[in-house]
Amino acid sequence: MIKVGIMGASGYGGGELLRWLQLHPEAEVLAATSKTYAGQPVSHAFGGLVPLPLVFAEDDIGAVQGCDVVFLAGGDSASMCLAEPLLEAGCKVIDLGASFRFTSASEYEQWYGEPHRSPHLKGVYGLPELHRTEITDAKLIGNPGCYATAALLALAPCVKGGLVKNDSIVIDGISGVSGAGRSKFGLDYHFAEMNENAWAYRIAGTHRHTGEIEQELSSLASAAIRVSFTPHIVPMTRGVLVTCYATLAAAMTTQDVLQIYQGFYNHEFFIHVSEALPRTKHTCGSNMCNIGLGVDERTNRVTVLAALDNLGKGMAGQAIQNMNIMIGLDETTGLKAVPLWP
């Protein structure tokens, strides 16, 4: 049985991790820490976890040092300080924040506007469909962002296969409110502001996930890639849908590109490629990513869409998928739950 700890478990992604892990046949949560809820049942933070007989521990590294795997859900500043002592204690570490997603500390500092406190630590970017071999031997994982996961899965076959012009990529993304985390109490997140409303934010290359997307696409292309990414928030609880546009390098049909995508993801359990266009509801509560596409032969441009649950494949589900690979389990273990419908 894998001994698991979660630090900062009352934060963004913590409740979803606990929900998934209680269904995992090979994992046991030994400790979940929280500054806010220490000494209280986890159901005080997450009402849906009433059946889970677990009490939050003090947010101290000693609570999880005996674990095989520790998830860091307390935010970037905390992760930078906690990762090294946990690694020294023999734990495998999966960070749900951005601290270890980048290949260099300077890239993190560029996008997040603060010094990296552990620049000597190098994590593996935890997108299994692109980095499965590196994840197998990794001790430290930087779990990808939700927008980045959807955009990269949507674009990887095109970019790696040289199907598109690298300077033509445009990405539109929409996310549900839970993508902002539980700590956002500003006016924009009041019911009266969110209901019957939608808006773009962090436009013109300022959203932090842009850095991850460009890093990974550039690696796939073996050339520097810059993208135009615009995120939007819409009045739904959970889900991400990205719509990606690019100019094809040569004339192709929808069926041509679809066959390439189906071949690329042929052995990927969590990726579903079809002629039907994806919807966020079709991935809700799961670790799935659904992909659909079409080619506009008039403009020689391809449009690729990807939908996933920002708390599933975009966060906690993917983190557990990474854990399974690191430990040597079948990566689908504990993650085969079908999406919630309706």
Active-site annotation, residues: 146
Q: How far apart are the first and last CA of the chain?
A: 34
Tokens encoding 205 = 């290359």
Q: Look up residue 60 and give its amino acid.
A: D
Q: Look up residue 223 and give its amino acid.
A: A
Which uninterrupted H or E stretch holds 322?
Answer: helix 317-327
| Rounded-to-integer distance, Cα 82 and Cα 103, Å | 19
| Rounded-to-integer distance, Cα 279 and Cα 19, Å | 23
Which uninterrupted H or E stretch holds 229?
Answer: strand 228-233
Q: DSSP secondary-structure letter at 52?
A: -
Tokens encoding 242 = 């990205």
Which uninterrupted H or E stretch holds 7?
Answer: strand 2-7
Tokens encoding 79 = 């992760």
| Rounded-to-integer distance, Cα 82 and Cα 169, Å | 37
Q: DSSP secondary-structure letter at 314?
A: I
Query: What is the rounded (10 degree) CA torsion for 46, 52, 55, 60?
Result: -80
Exposure string for 204-233, b = 16+ CB within 10 A, e = fewer: eeebbbbbbbbbbbbbbbeeebebebbbeb
| Rounded-to-integer distance, Cα 9 and Cα 15, Å | 7
